[in-house]
Amino acid sequence: MPLSVVVQIAVSGALMGLVYALIAYGFQLTYATSKSLNFGQGELVMVSAFVSLTLLGTGLPYAVVVPLGILFGAVLGAIVERVAVRLALQQKNDGWILLTIIVGLFLVSFAENVWGRDDRPFPTPIPDDPIHILGVDVTWLEISVAVGVLAIMALVEVLKRRTLLGKAFEAVSADRDAAELMGISATRTVTLSYALSGAVAAVAGILVSPITTVGPTMAAALVLKAFSVAVVAGLESGFGVVLVGLILGALEGLASLYIGSGWRETPGLLLLILALAVRPTGLFGKAKIRKV
Amino acid sequence: MLKRLILVRGAEIALFVVLGALPLVVDSPFVLGLLTLLAIYGVALIGLDVTVGYLGQINLAQVAMLGLGAYLAGIAATRYGVGIPLAVLLSGVFCTVVGALLALPALRLEGPQFALATLSFTALCATALNELEWLTNGAQGLSITRPLLLGHALDARDFFWLCTAILALVWLAMRNLMTSQWGRAFEALRDSPIATDAMGVGTYRHKVAAFAFGSGLGGAAGALYAFNFVYLQPMTFVYELTVILLLGVVLGGRKSLWGAVVGAVLVAVLVALLPNLLSSPLLFRVFSGIAFALALVAGVRGLVRRKAAAFRALAPIAATLTLVVGSFLASNTEDWRKAIFALLLFSVVVGLPEGLMGFASAGLARLFRVAPPALPPPAPLDAVLPARPADGSVLLKLDALSCHFGGVRAVDGVDLTVKAGTIHGLIGPNGSGKSTLVNVVSGLYAPSGGELRLRGAALPRGKPVAAAKAGIARTFQNLQLFGGMTALENVMVALRGAWRVPLPLVLLGLGRLEELRGRAAALALLELVGLRGEARTRATDLTYGAQRFLEIARALARRPELLILDEPAAGLAQPDVQRLLEIIRRVQQRGITTVLIEHHMDVVSELCETVTVLDGGKVIAEGSPAQVKRDAKVITAYLGAAEPDAAPPGAAPAPAAPAGAP
């Protein structure tokens, strides 16, 4: 096989990997404030994409639809927190794992019935023409994904570091009870982090849909890889998910090239189990000292 | 005693007799299929309950074990002519090994990461089953012929009896396991992994064992699954079934064999009946109406009695109301199957967090009041805690020991000698490195440098289990009791050398004698600390002082060479301090060497021959309590000095640290 084809597939895979990184980043946002995450995050991506598609169908321009889709994702994220997470967090148990899975199940069924079971194309004003960079063909669409992912992550990071809200995130993350005593509502901060995470999921959906098409099954496919990225990179480092996402995406492309497309998810899963054996806190996670 | 036997065992026997007799009465193939599925799910759920209930970890890999077991049994039987019993055994053993291999890395994780790792494993298995076409026939599915059993072809009823018999065996084995030291260790490590390690039980080892055991049951259930349906498809063993199995455990009730079987009934019935229910709109409307009525009654009752949080009462009502509205709006209820399933599950998970069995057993316990079995008389103390020679030889020796965290030198070059049979005091202001020092000695922290020797032999570094086995036992400044267990169990789980019966014999129920002896030994230790009367009280329900004493009894169960007491008097009321003094003296009479960290200077003065004073991670003084109290450096360390060397000689010597200061 010519090397150029291999490089081509690795680069395309890596750019897709950035979408997994963005979804994994959504896990990090809620994990930071509440040590919990939405197992139905993939469904959030899918439903937000479908809603955006419907809005586009009403004739609204793309530039209006994107913010509306993101807003929808944020609202849905907040709803997930209220319905499936808050009670379990108050009682300090793992009940949210099961409940977010259940909410995800509901959303899949909802999408199947409202929008149908078939995959649908997602129109976009961004052209699909390839351009030639250093011997590799890259489409404008793929570039838009990369730029979009990195831009939204940079924006959220700036928000977290420069605003009072970001400080509240950090405070609740460090010590929930102490933050409450200092007058920060931990509950509200957690809700906000879920809303932010939902918005990020919506962005991921809008960015990836023109490439993959939209359908009820996209949720499971995306979220599994995002899980791998999140666990391998650790649930703390934004830079980590980008790097791991790129590598995983490239590996995935190469696996389907060399072993067969049915195996494309395998490298991620193997990488995950291997990484756990070597570094349980993730490659970029911090080890904790246990205090007695 | 007899009443207990009749009620508890009688209910179990009745369950299996009724199950076994049902096919004689009902001969509809549909019901028989449902019952068989119930028995198979029962085995899988009992296995899943080990991780979800006892370890408290959300395990999403059980369905992968079910799939692996099913395919292994199917392929072994079809291609190699392996019989049913061997195939079930083979699948069980194979999945135990796979479970252990998966657990080795995955169980270093906690909470969500563990769930993610197990979910990934499930996805990996589904991919492999789908893609390895030469072995599994891929997506086309694998057809299996059900082998003969002892020359007989099994019809549906025979096969159901086989599954029920296996469920009964698994039930028995599981009950034997969970009432043995293994069951105690599983519960202990969930309550306090640190103390489980420090008591030499070994958190990690037991976690891996528990996961492997549960996975093995999943594999065995998979083999039965294969012979039941005689046709396998990779897509069966994916996400959806994972969720269903997990829900079976949660809905049935965790940490309960009955719960697992009730969960299996729910899962089997729900999965089998929901399609029928949905085919008729009228039936579905009636069903959702009933669900709504139940949620409404339970919710309003919870609200009126102020027992349930508002969300817990209202959310199921809202969910079932959605169901009712949906049943009138939607024309194609079949298509909404997943959503209906989700709404039902949501209502039950939110409304009944303890599961059906948790809910029912509270009521049953109130109804019958079964007394626990009587306790044996305590063993003689000489047998439990043989006297050691207090010859004054060197027991513990630390040389230039240090422990640094980044730039913080918590322990910085400490030399210390503790003589056998003595009570050695270790004092110092807050942050002087006392707790870090004992954490290093007991293996919780690895030292950055220096030597530790116990009776001349190097102590393991940074390995709490090995340190405990070398003869070091400790209590914790912030109590680390196994809260959900009784005082007696807390001591039993730590007993050294009492648990020798190997696992297979324990599963067969041959650990009873050992169990009785363990109880007697633990009672003797409880008597030593004055808690014999509280043997059946849960550790969390004990008074604060009693909890402190229980930690000492638990540490003594290790039959230690060296007992480390980390601020045992912190927060104790005066009468309890007197009891503590008495306990420590009794321990000394058994020849056990004690290192006592304490802020109460009167306690230290009364008990210790030698006191070592730490400050800033270094030893600043050592000697008799009286000498140390007069030492200028000690006074400066505790009270500070206006100018260097200006501490007035003979000034009030007692360090003024308040009781209970960390």
Residue B117 has its nearest CB partner, among A36, A94, A273, at A273
ipTM, 2 decimals? 0.88
The count of domains in chain B is 3
CA A274 to chain centre: 22
Taking only residues 441 to 460 of chain B, the set having a beta carbon closer than 8 angstroms to any beta carbon of chain A reads: 444
B441 shares a domain with B304? no
**Residue B640 DSSP label:** -
DSSP symbols for B217-229: HHHHHHHHHHHHH
The pair of three-digit structure tokens given for residue A222, joined into one six-digit string: 């995306």
Specify the pTM: 0.86
Enumerate residues 168 to 197 of chain A having a beta carbon within 8 A of any beta carbon in chain B.
none
Query: Does A194 have pLDDT greater than 90?
Result: yes
Four-point Cα dihedral A245, A247, A251, A254, nearest 10: 110
Amino acid (1-letter code) at residue B14: A
> Around B641, how many Cα atoms within 13 Å sit in the side-chain half-sphere?
14
Q: Report the domain count for chain A.
A: 1
B240 contacts in chain A (CB < 8 Å): 105
Whose CA is closest to B375, among B499, B495, B481, B518?
Answer: B518
Domain assignment present for residue A64? The answer is: yes
User: Which chain B residues are closer than 8 Å to A273 by Cβ?
Assistant: 102, 105-106, 117, 120-121, 124
CATH number of residue A195's parent domain: 1.10.3470
Say yes or no to pLDDT of A288 above 70.
no
The predicted structure's pLDDT at residue A269: 78
Please name the residues in contact with B193: beta carbons below 8 A apart, sequence gap of 6 or more: B203
Q: Does B158 touch chain A (CB under 8 A)?
A: no
Question: Cα A210 to the chain's mean position, in Å?
Answer: 16
Tell me how close the Cα of A273 comes to any Cα of chain B, in angstroms.
Answer: 7
Structural domain of residue A150, as residue ranges? 3-278
Query: Hey, which residues 77-106 in chain A have their CB within 8 Å of chain B?
Result: 83, 86-87, 90-91, 94-95, 97-99, 101-103, 105-106
Q: What's the one-letter identity of residue B210?
A: A
pLDDT tens digits along B310-369? 888 888 899 999 989 988 887 777 788 888 888 988 888 888 877 778 777 777 777 777
* Subunit contact B117:A95, Cβ cutoff 8 A: no
Pairing of strands B562-566, A130-133: unpaired
DSSP classification of residue B577 = H
For helices B29-49 and B257-279, give the axis angle rounded to 10 degrees. 140
Task: Identify the pLDDT of residue B656.
Answer: 45
Measured in angstroms, the CA of A276 and the nearest CA of chain B are apart by 6
Distance from CA of A50 to the nearest CA of B (A): 18
Q: Which of B48, B113, B241, B565 to mutate to test the interface with A (most CBs of A within 10 A)?
A: B113
Minimum distance, in Å, between the CA of residue B441 and any CA atom of chain A: 13
Query: 3-class SS at B595?
Result: strand
- Nearest beta carbon to residue B112 from set A97, A103, A274: A97
Does the pLDDT of residue A50 top 50, yes or no? yes
* Domain endpoint, select from B244, B279, B314: B279
Which residue in B has a C-alpha nearest to residue A289's C-alpha? Answer: B445
**Structure tokens that stand for B371 in this block:** 């007394």
Q: Chain A contact for B136, CB < 8 A?
A: no
Q: What are the tens digits of pLDDT across the range A140-170?
A: 888 889 999 999 999 999 988 888 888 888 8
At residue B303, the pLDDT reads 84
- Kindly state whether residue B195 falls inside one of the protein's structural domains: yes
CB contact under 8 A, A102 and B435: no
Residue A30: predicted pLDDT:
92
Answer yes or no: is A289 within a domain.
Answer: no
Q: Find the CB nearest B108 among A39, A86, A280.
A: A280
- Is B352 in the A-facing interface, judged by CB distances under 8 Å? no
pLDDT above 80 for A64:
yes
Instruction: Please give the average per-residue pLDDT across A1-27, as a whole number.
Output: 88
Rounded to a whole number of angstroms, the distance from the CA of A280 to the nearest CA of chain B is 6
| Domain membership flag for residue B29 | no
Task: Note the pLDDT of residue B235.
Answer: 85
Q: Are residues B387 and B330 in the same domain?
A: no
A70 is a domain residue = yes
Query: CB contact, 8 Å: A236 with chain B?
Result: no
The separation between CA B502 and the C-alpha centre of its own chain, rounded to angstroms, equals 20
Strand partners, B563: B473, B594
Domain extent, residue B397, equals: 382-639
Instruction: Please tell me whether residues B521 and B548 are part of one structural domain.
Output: yes
Residue A280, pLDDT > 80, answer no
pLDDT, tens digit, 9 for 90 and up, residues A247-263: 999 988 888 888 877 78
Model confidence over A113-139: pLDDT tens digits?
Answer: 999 988 999 888 888 788 887 778 888
Nearest to B253 by CA among B519, B48, B3: B48
The residue among A284 and A252 whose pLDDT is bigger is A252
Q: Which two tokens stand for residue B119?
A: 């979910």
User: Does some domain include residue A284?
Assistant: no
Query: Which strand ranges, in their side-by-side order, compose the sheet holding B449-454?
Result: B408-419, B394-405, B449-454, B457-458
What is the structure's pLDDT at B329? 85
Whether A285 has its CB under 8 Å from any CB of chain B: the answer is: no
Same domain, B194 and B266: yes
pLDDT of residue B660: 42
The answer to the question of residue B362 being in a domain is no
Same domain, B591 and B556: yes
Could you tell me if residue A99 is inside a domain?
yes
Together in a domain, B245 and B109 = yes
Helices B156-178 + B257-279 axis angle, to 10:
140
Question: CB distance from A158 to chain B under 8 Å?
Answer: no
Query: How is residue B152 annotated by DSSP?
Result: B
Does any CB of chain A come closer than 8 Å to the CB of residue B109?
Answer: yes
Can you tell me the distance from the alpha carbon of B56 to that of B64, in angstroms, rounded to the nearest whole number? Answer: 19
How does strand B142-143 pair with strand B231-232?
antiparallel
Residue B552 and residue B408 in one domain: yes
Within an 8 Å CB–CB cutoff, is residue B406 touching chain A? Answer: no
According to DSSP, the residues that pair with B152 across neighbouring strands are B149
Q: CA of A170 to nearest chain B CA: how many angstroms apart?
A: 20
pLDDT at B266: 84
Please tell me whether residue B204 adopts helix, strand or coil conformation: helix
One domain for residues B303 and B225: no
For the residues A107-111, what does the mean pLDDT come to? 93
Chain A CB contacts of B405 under 8 Å are 289
Pick the residue of B110, B120, B245, B440 with the most A CBs within 10 A to test the interface with A by mutation: B120
Both B303 and B190 in one domain: the answer is no
Residue A256 in any domain: the answer is yes
A228 occurs within a structural domain: yes
Q: What is the pLDDT of residue B659?
A: 42
Run of H or E including B31: helix B29-49
With a CB-CB cutoff of 8 Å, which residues 277-316 of chain B face chain A?
Answer: 309, 311-312, 315
Alpha-carbon distance of A84 to B312, in angstroms, equals: 11
- The answer on B145 and B66 residing in a single domain is yes
pLDDT for res B646 = 47
B293 with B274, same domain? no
Pick from B98, B116, B132, B197 the residue to mutate for testing the A interface (most A CBs within 10 Å): B116
CA-derived radius of gyration, chain A = 19
Does residue A85 form part of some domain?
yes
CATH number at residue B507: 3.40.50.300
**What is the per-residue burial (b if ≥16 Cβ within 10 Å, else e) of B28-44?**
eeeebbbbbbbbbbbbb
Q: Give the A:B interface size as CB pairs under 8 Å.
A: 136
**Per residue, what are the HEC states of chain A?**
CCHHHHHHHHHHHHHHHHHHHHHHHHHHHHHHHHCCCCCCHHHHHHHHHHHHHHHHHCCCCHHHHHHHHHHHHHHHHHHHHHHHHHHHHHCCCCHHHHHHHHHHHHHHHHHHHHHCCCCECCCCCCCCCEEEECCEEEEHHHHHHHHHHHHHHHHHHHHHHHCHHHHHHHHHHHCHHHHHHCCCCHHHHHHHHHHHHHHHHHHHHHHHHHHHCECCCHHHHHHHHHHHHHHHHCCCCHHHHHHHHHHHHHHHHHHHHHCCHHHCCHHHHHHHHHHHHHCCCCCCCCCCCCCC
Q: Which chain A residue shows the shortest CA-CA distance from B138?
A: A262
- Low-confidence stretches of chain B (pLDDT < 70) are 1-2, 308, 370, 642-662
Q: Are the beta carbons of A292 and B342 separated by less than 8 Å?
A: no
In a domain, B647, yes or no: no
Question: How would you write B180-200 as a 3-class SS string?
Answer: CHHHHHHHHHHHCHHHHHHCC
> Cβ of B480 under 8 Å from any chain A Cβ?
yes
> The tokens of B476 are what?
């914790």
Same domain assignment for residues B135 and B240? yes
